[in-house]
Each structure stands twice: as C-alpha cells, then as structure tokens.
Chains A and B, each alone.
Chain A
Amino acid sequence: MSQPHRLAAGGHVDRTRRVSFTFDGRRYEGHPGDTLASALLANGVRLVGRSFKYHRPRGIFSAGVEEPNALVELRDGARREPNTRATVVELFDGLAATSQNRRGSLAFDWMAVNGLLAPWLGAGFYYKTFMWPAAYWERVYEPLIRKAAGLGRASGLPDPDRYEAAHAHCDVLVVGAGAAGLAAARAAGATGARVILAEQDALPGGDLLNEPGLEPWRTEALAALAAMPEVTIMPRTTVFGFYDQGVLGAVERVADHLPEPPPHTPRQRSWTIRAREVVLATGAHERLIAFPGNDRPGVMLAGAARSYARRFGVRAGENVALFATHDGAYDAAFALAEAGARIAAIIDPRPDSPAMQRAREAGFAVRAGSVVSATVGGTALRGIELRAAGGSGRGDAVAADLLMISGGWNPAVHLASMSGAALAWDEGLQAFVPGPPAQRERSAGACRGVHGIGAAAADGAAAGRAAAIAAGFAAAPDIALPDAPAPDHRPHPLWEVRGRGKAFVDIQDDVTADDIRLAHREGFSHIEHAKRYTTHAMGTDQGKTGGIVGAAVLAEARGEPLAKVGLPRFRPYTSPIAWGAMAGEGVGAHFQPTRRTSLHAVHEAAGAVWMDAGIWKRPAYYPKREDADAWASVLREARAVRERVGICDVSTLGKIAVEGPDAAIFLDRVYANTFSTLPVGRARYGLMLREDGIVFDDGTTSRIGPDRFFVTTTTAQAGPVMQHLEFHLASVWPELDVSLASITDQWAGIAIAGPKAREVIAGVVSGLDLSNEAFPFMAVADCMAAGVPARLFRISFSGELAYEIAMPAGYAAHVWQAAMAAGAPHGIEPYGMEALGLLRIEKGHVAGSELNGQTTAQDLGLGRMLKKKGDFIGRVLAQRPGLTDPSRPRLVGLRSLDPRRQIRAGCHLLLPGGDGSSQGWITSATQSVVDPGWIGLGLLRDGEARIGSEMLAANPLMGEEVPVKVISPHMHDPENLRVRA
C-alpha cells in the first residue's frame, strides 16, 4: 500500500522494511522507526480524534509527549489501553489502534452537536447545571456526564502483563538524551562517575534527530557512552517525578514497542532512582498560539512538522503556511520546502527579522505584521484567514492544508519545579525557567532556555562536568562539541488573536481563552483556581503546549504581568504512567503477604474452609459430609466443645517475651491491671488501654519466672502492641531494665477445651500433676508434650475446662496429632474460628468487634479491672467526663425472642414503639448451642438498667425488625464453675 506523503529518503525510518497496522479497522503501512502518528500522516490520515467536550474534529498536533489531540485506544482485548498518544506510540507489525470519544464514525460524530450548544457549555457548566436536586447525581447526571465526556475505554479485563519495580543508584542522573543530555552524560562519564542517562524516546538524540548534518556527532557520542562501563543509557524511560533527597521516579517501557511482551519479560518497569547529582536536560515544548479555529486538523506545531519531515521522512502537508512569532520557527518552513511542500505563506506579527529576510530570499511569501485570524475547513484544514496584527474583522484568505504554528518555546521545567526550585521569568524568551536549585540538581540546555544544539551541548557538558565534580570526581578533559548556529527563539509576545470562534488555550480539555476570562469574571482569578474552574492544563498533556498561554490570557484579564500570575504548580507525573507500573509485582496474591500457621497443612488435610484474619489464613470450620450447611458444621464443632472436647489452632495470637529485672514494673504501667503481684507459674487476663483511655488490647499474660513474662495479644493487634511496648520502653521509661522480643512465629499454640480436656491433656503431657489442686485454673508450667518441650496453660476462651499447649512452632503438627489420638476415645473434634466466636459470645468474652477502638473498660463491663493505685497508660485520660459518662453504651447480651429469627451484627437497637432513634447496636451475633436460638453481644445505652427488657434489633437495609431481650452478656456458666472444674 502506498504512503503518499512519505519522502523518498532521509530520517530515521527503515524504508527497507514495512510494518502493517490498522486504524479504525483500516489497514495501513509504515516503517520501523515510525510512530503511529508519523505513519498515519504518511498515509494522509489527518483526522484522528474528537475533542473532549465539543467533539470537534482533531488531528495530530505535535510529535511528542505534549500531544493534546491524537489520543487513541491501542491494542485489543485485555491489552486494550485508552488515551495512548499516537505521537509516542512506536509502530509495530499488527498494531491496532482505534479513535476515541466519538459516537458513530470519526468523520460524522453526532455528539458534535455539543459544538452548537457551546454557549451553554463554557467553563463551570457542570458545576452550575448539575447541582440540583442532589439525588439526581448518582442516577442521572453522573451516568450522563460519564457517557458524554471521558475519553477512551478501559478493557475491563485483568491486565495480562507483568510489571516490575526496580531501584537504581548513580552519581549523576541525566534526564533527557538530546544534545545537552548526551554532552552532560559524556562529560560526567569521562570523570569515571556512575551515570544513568534516561531518555523517554526510543531513539536518543532529541532535536539532533532533526539535523542530518549533526548525525556524526550523535553517533559518535552514543558510541563513546556505550564504551564507558559506568554509563547506563536507558531509552524508552520517562522520568516522571523528582522527589525528596535526590530520589526520582521513572518508568521504562520494556516491551510497549512489541505486540506483546516476550516470555519472562515485564511490559514496563518502574524505577526508583537515587542520584547524588541530577542534570535535567529535558528540553522544551513548543507553544501554541490561541486564535479562532486553532484546533482544526491540519494545524500543527511548527517543530512537529519539521520533525515529521526530517526525522520521519513524512510531509505533513502539501501547501503549507507558517504562523510564528520568532525566528527559531522558520527552519520548519525550510524543512517542509526541502521535503517538497509549497510554502503558501509565512505569517508573523513582527515587522521584520533576519529569518524573514532569509525566507523572502528563498522565495516564500512573508506576511510581516500579520496574524492568523481564522481557519477554514471541515474535518481538514483548507485555508486560513489573515489580517494585520492588532486589527480586527476578517482578512485575506490563503489556501493551505497545513498551518504550522509557533508562539515560542516552553522550557520543560517540570522536574526542576518538583525538586523545589522556584521558577524565574525570562523576559527575552517570554518563558519561565528554573530558578536556583533547592536540591542537588542543575538544568542544562533548552529546559533552562539555552537554545540551539551547539549552545545546548556546551551547556550540557558544563553541567555534566560540574555534577560529576560535585559528586566527588576529578575533572576530565573536555569533550568534542557539535558546531551549530543558535536559532533565535525570543518571541514577540503574542498569545492570542481575538475573533469569532473558539480560540483554544488547552486543546485537549476544550478550554478557550474566553473560558479563562469567564473564570476571572466569576472570581476564579488565581491561576490555581482558574485551572480547576476551567480544567485548563488538567489533561493528559498537562498543558505542555498551552498552559502558559492560558496564564497569559488570565494575566491580561487581571491587568497584571504574566510573571506575577505564574503557572500552576507542577506535580508528578510529567507524562501519563500506567497504573500497572506503579503496582509493580504487588498485585493478586502478591498484593500483601499471606501468613500461615505451622499447622496449616494439618488443617488442610482436615478439609478446613479458610477465612482471612488480617493476613493470616485460619480455619473457619471443618465441614463433614453429613453437615447440611456451614452452620451445621459450626454448631457441631461448638457442641463438641461444650459436651466433650475440641481442639483449636491459636498460633496466630501475638506473643511477646517481656524479660528483665523491671519487667513487672513495666507491665504494671502498660496494663490497666496489676502484674507485679502475679505469682510465678500463674497467668492473668490483662487489659491494655491507649493513652487516651480507650481499650487497646487484651490477652493472657503469664509469669514464667521472677523476671520473665509471656505476654499474649489478640491476632489483629500483635504488631501494634509490640510497637506500643517498644515506644514506651524506649522513650517514656528508658530507665527500666527490660527487654522485649516478639516470639509470635517461634511458638505455636493449641487450645484443647471441653469437659474431657483434662483426659486428653493427660494423654499428651508428661511431667505435670494435672489435678485441679496441683494445676488449677490460670496455672502455667513447662512440661513435655508428646515427647517435645512445651508449656502448658490452663486458660479458657470458650468458658469450658480448657488448656493451651505452647510449643516450638516446628513441633506443632506432631503435638496436634498426638492430641487428636489421645482425644479420639473422647470424641475430640477440631473447631475453627466460627465455633470459637460462637463459644466466646455465649461466654460473654469481648473480641475485636467490641474492642473496636471506641470502647472504654467501663463500656465493656471491665471497669473494675482498672487498678486504683499507680500510673498506667490511659489512666488519666480515661477519667475524662465523656468517657466516664454512665449513659455510654454498655456491653449487654441479647437473645432473639423467636429462636428462629436471626439477628445480625450491625443491627441497631430500638425501643419498641419508640421514635426509632438508635439506643445501641449489636456487635457480634451467633446461634447458641447451650440454649438454641440467636444470641448476640451489643453496646446499649443504659445497658445494665435495661437487662430484662425488650428491644427491637433493626436492620433497615434488609427490612428486618427482630424483637430481642436484653440479657447479661455472661450467658453461659456465669459463676465460672466449668472453667474451674
């Protein structure tokens, strides 16, 4: 297939090979080295998208990351990616791209009717129109807006590709491999410094790629860099952010230029780069001019048209006009003329200049003192209208199919600004350049306003050398620099040509100069406010071409200099970055670690159904074939504990060794109750408060020796409790001689509970007298269990006679199996988290649902545990009136009056016949095995006084109101006879 606009020779495309691709289903051909945009232009495709708000036809506007218009969906199926910029998408064989944001065909988009509604769709339209009624937002406005606006479509499927995160360290990071960056890397590399040269393009060179005469210098520079062992060149790598202490973020597009990543290769790699010194050589983005119709397909940045001609060998137009405000842009006209295009007119508001004279000598029609006041055409440019600068009304018409524009250059100061450097106004360039550095960075070349390849390379070499010396390296001999004249990029400050029609300052977001003035009239006159009110510079291009133009329009409206108005703050990311790269490997099963107890395989063999407890995997229950449903399993397991004996893995509980001469004093201060009086060989339930008086955690702590305690925490708070203890020991009571060690992973725990527990323990444990007198409730002792060293605790969470065996984690499966064998004659059954929860609710023990970070000891009926004497964390602030208010919700038990009617955690408790105001809520609910029916724990206002009364458990979401009776939370064995049996 032909490429009618491809030049016969020149540029960095490989004409010996053809690459086939489709756009909107039509097949085209390009060459390796093309971007999607250059290949489309080679094939004469001018219309590539519809605009965001007005659905205006749009074409390719730039040749790089600053592209506002040519956003396409790339690839198909799960790999479909919206909003990719055709100007940076490297062409590969089989590439499939689709235009976005259209209804119907691209050429006839019925949403373009929005263009007719434009007078009502100005800035702030959404804020003003879709305000009322509020209920319409979710059901009407938002779906409508989402359908009408928005750009591409996400695939909606899981991303099939893999991403990596990586770290790099270097002495000098050079960002950008144009003339300045190449010279900087060479100069720094020559000193022996470790250098990383990151370039977003596939091909290093920047503007050198548009200068065939300087190709030998580029090639030689790259060869020299490749020969330096300490220099790493990273092409296709976008440095997107400059953070604190010399940290920069980058994304390397490892496989985006291929149809799909090869095996064992990530699609992209996100880099965290730590650099001693940074050289920013990020270049500049060409600036648009706001004039009516400046968004029509066929209007293109002058430098882009030049780049398509010189780098890609593509003639972007046949009959070309140039509208420029500075001499630097004129090379585009010469480049297009060399490419065989006719130069129809050069329009320049200035009276005269050296470039104008050269253009006249070349035979171009130069219209000095003129501006473009309109564009003519439908979905493609057919002509322009000119008039005298400063004039008004309509002017002469000139036929043209390509209008190249340039209002000057915007130094790419994004990274310098993010590093903390203030921006300074350069009157000559009419641009902001980086001010003094706040970090160890320096800008070089066009990104600080030094234009021209020769000057930029010299600037880069100086910066690279200075950076290496600052990083501690000795100066090296000078490097060879390219010899090239410096173009004059100082523009005549023309920002806008006013006239009939829309003059865009932000082409991607459909923001016009009028929108900026409207924002000012309505009080959004600060640049940050105007930005948000109009969405100016908020698109994927972040206003790289027109951001400053909008600021200039605002400055004029405010009657203040542009230097004072400034630009909105630059933030990461400088260019759009795929979320996948940010997530790296942290997706799916790798999103967070999984913790398994040492008994995991035992539970798996027993057929456990798993549940997540934080990041732990714990058995929920162990279904048996005869169980009708999950509840049948849970009730069966709980009944085994109440009637015979059960066995449960409690290894996830946090365990902390607290040891040292002052261990008892320390525990007295961190627990609300006393531990210094605890005898060796005994355990005690402990309650910890936060310093604000709210309950923090609970658990059983044992005294193993005079100076040795074994603290247990809840599963969820194991980490926070450890930190809490460490903090207070280090910072509040450093004088205490105590050491702390987390031993959660080292010790496994097995609970054996039920009336037959002693018989089972007797079959496992040796070396202890297990009689009630010798080893009573709350006794602790070291022992042997199934022949391995272990520690036995007589503690109970279920409310039955119960023991916990703790043993080194590696022995847990062995001891579990011994206990199962010893328990077999007694009908032992393993029980999971669900039965554990059932049993503790029946017993009235609080757990995470009650220790919810809002409850006090009094709220939970544990107020008497707080010691009267001595300091402890939370003691003082627990006395605040709001926390001691007797009407605070108190822990109560609840029972559904109809045993078949379920009550649920989260139900609110209402007075029957009351006004519907909530008196409290249910924190935990279950079915009971001791007295079948639904029971729960809850927090109820005036709870104690209401014991015996009836309430309604209301669940408006499910339309339920269940009558319940308020009872004591201690529903099972309130005298604690069973645990002491």
Chain B
Amino acid sequence: MLRIPCPHCGPRDEAEFSYRGDATVTRPGPEDGIEAFHGYLYERRNPRGWQVEWWQHGAGCRAFLKVLRHTVTHEIRAVATATEALEVPEA
C-alpha cells in the first residue's frame, strides 16, 4: 500500500485515492480529428521507470493530483496539483 503525500491533506494511504493513469497526455483541440483523440484516449507509453500519473484523493480533498511514481519500485518522489508541472527524472 502506497502512501501519497497529498499537498492539501498531508501523507495519506493509497486506499483514499483512485488511479486515473498517465497525466502527460493532453486532450486535443476540437478540430484535431479522430487520430489525435485516439492517441489521447488509448495510446500510452507504459514506461519502465518514472511516470507522472493522475490520482484523485477521493476520500480526502477530492483533488486530482499529479504523482511522480516509479513503475518498478513504486517510489513516489513528487506530488503536484493538477495545474503544476512535474519534471520526470532521466532514470
């Protein structure tokens, strides 16, 4: 069970959160066409390493948070609010 440091509520158990996948994809503009939306909805990098992903603190502040997690070690290195940018380390 992970512990996620929520910027609003402090460190909280994973059970309070729900996962919503890759936070680096951006919704295309309305005129960008089917291919662009297909990529936005379905295509994921699935990295072995660091990934920025959405977690919603559903049992807390309900904010959608950006979480920098290592997909192998499950280390959580940084958490940001939805509008903040998170830098992905090289390794």
| CB-nearest residue of chain A to B76 | A245
Instruction: Name the B residues within 8 Å of A692 (CB-CB).
Output: 41
Contact present for B34 and A731 (CB under 8 Å):
no
Q: Let me know if B83 is at the binding interface, CB within 8 A.
A: yes
Q: Let me know if A216 is at the binding interface, CB within 8 A.
A: no
| Interface CB pairs A-B, < 8 A, 14 | A243-B1, A245-B74, A245-B76, A272-B1, A274-B3, A438-B73, A691-B41, A727-B54, A731-B64, A734-B83, A870-B30, A871-B30, A876-B33, A876-B34
Q: Let me know if B60 is at the binding interface, CB within 8 A.
A: no
| CB-nearest residue of chain B to A727 | B64
Contact present for A730 and B73 (CB under 8 Å):
no
Interface residues of B (CB under 8 A from A): 1-3, 18, 20, 23, 27-30, 32-34, 36-38, 40-41, 54, 56, 58, 62-64, 73-76, 82-83
CA–CA, A541 to B32, complex, Å?
Answer: 58
Instruction: Name the B residues within 8 Å of A876 (CB-CB).
Output: 28, 30, 32-34, 36-37
Given contacts A726-B56, A727-B54, contact A877 B38 (CB under 8 A): yes
Contact present for B73 and A877 (CB under 8 Å):
no
CA–CA, A732 to B40, complex, Å?
Answer: 12
- Closest approach, in angstroms, between the C-beta of A901 and any C-beta of chain B? 44
CA–CA, A879 to B37, complex, Å?
Answer: 11
Given contacts A244-B74, A274-B3, A691-B41, contact A734 B82 (CB under 8 A): yes
Contact present for B64 and A726 (CB under 8 Å):
yes
Given contacts A420-B73, A879-B34, A880-B34, contact A730 B64 (CB under 8 A): yes
Q: Let me know if A723 is at the binding interface, CB within 8 A.
A: yes
Q: Which of A274, A420, A731 has the most CB of B within 10 A?
A: A731
Instruction: Name the B residues within 8 Å of A102 (CB-CB).
Output: none
Q: Let me know if A836 is at the binding interface, CB within 8 A.
A: no
Q: Let me know if A247 is at the binding interface, CB within 8 A.
A: yes
- Chain A window 583-618, contacts with chain B (Cβ cutoff 8 Å), 1 for yes, 0 for no: 000000000000000000000000000000000000
- Closest approach, in angstroms, between the C-beta of A417 and any C-beta of chain B? 15
Instruction: Name the B residues within 8 Å of A387 (CB-CB).
Output: none
A contacts with B, residue count (CB < 8 A): 24
Instruction: Name the A residues within 8 Å of B40 (CB-CB).
Output: 691
- Closest approach, in angstroms, between the C-beta of B64 and any C-beta of chain A? 4
Contact present for B74 and A732 (CB under 8 Å):
no
CA–CA, A879 to B74, complex, Å?
Answer: 39
Q: Which of A272, A723, A727, A876 has the most CB of B within 10 A?
A: A876
From A247, A727, A732, A877, B34 is in contact (CB under 8 Å) with: A877
| CB-nearest residue of chain B to A247 | B1
Q: Let me know if A965 is at the binding interface, CB within 8 A.
A: no
- Chain A window 756-770, contacts with chain B (Cβ cutoff 8 Å), 1 for yes, 0 for no: 000000000000000
Contact present for A877 and B37 (CB under 8 Å):
yes
Contact present for A245 and B34 (CB under 8 Å):
no
Instruction: Name the A residues within 8 Å of B20 (CB-CB).
Output: 727
- Chain A window 723-764, contacts with chain B (Cβ cutoff 8 Å), 1 for yes, 0 for no: 100110011101000000000000000000000000000000
Instruction: Name the B residues within 8 Å of A726 (CB-CB).
Output: 56, 62, 64
CA–CA, A731 to B81, complex, Å?
Answer: 10
Q: Let me know if A875 is at the binding interface, CB within 8 A.
A: yes
CA–CA, A871 to B83, complex, Å?
Answer: 21
| CB-nearest residue of chain B to A731 | B82
Instruction: Name the B residues within 8 Å of A732 (CB-CB).
Output: 27
| CB-nearest residue of chain A to B41 | A691
Given contacts A243-B1, A877-B34, could you give 9 more A-B pairs where the C-beta distance is less than 8 Å?
A244-B73, A692-B41, A723-B56, A727-B54, A730-B64, A871-B30, A875-B30, A876-B33, A880-B34
- Chain A window 155-183, contacts with chain B (Cβ cutoff 8 Å), 1 for yes, 0 for no: 00000000000000000000000000000
Contact present for B3 and A245 (CB under 8 Å):
yes
A window 934-961: CB within 8 A of B: none
CA–CA, A243 to B37, complex, Å?
Answer: 37
CA–CA, A879 to B35, complex, Å?
Answer: 11
- Closest approach, in angstroms, between the C-beta of B67 and any C-beta of chain A? 13
Nearest first, the 7 closest Cβ-Cβ pairs linking A and B are A871-B30, A244-B74, A730-B64, A730-B82, A876-B37, A732-B27, A247-B1
- Closest approach, in angstroms, between the C-beta of A596 and any C-beta of chain B? 21
CA–CA, A244 to B58, complex, Å?
Answer: 21
| CB-nearest residue of chain B to A719 | B58
CA–CA, A245 to B76, complex, Å?
Answer: 9
- Closest approach, in angstroms, between the C-beta of A706 and any C-beta of chain B? 25
- Closest approach, in angstroms, between the C-beta of A416 and any C-beta of chain B? 15
